[in-house]
Amino acid sequence: MTPYFIRQLIIHTICNVTGAAPIEVTALDWVELNTRDWEQVFSRLEATLDIQTGMLTSIERSFSIEKLMHMLHARVTHNIVI
């Protein structure tokens, strides 16, 4: 799974949960979500990627798409069992 695919998945998930347009989401340096949206976004990402991020319990409610992309890519690539 490529970092670009994960980035698109993040953007798609945020848009589905918040109703924001992709261009609005990608224009943000930091994405800020309310608690409900935060839980929805991260539970969907974790379920789709079959990983645990620990972000569901985080008190922080903002993130950089680029940093999140790299973190999720690292988790996904290290969870692969051959």
Total domains in the chain come to 1
Q: What range defines the domain where residue 50 resides?
A: 3-75
Averaged pLDDT, groups of 10, the chain, 82 residues long:
95 98 94 96 95 89 96 85 44
pLDDT of residue 1: 85
43 located within any domain = yes
Give the integer Cα–Cα distance in Å for 56 and 82. 28
Pick from 4, 2, 32: nearest CA to 14: 32
- Global pTM? 0.91
81 located within any domain = no
80 located within any domain = no
pLDDT of residue 79: 66
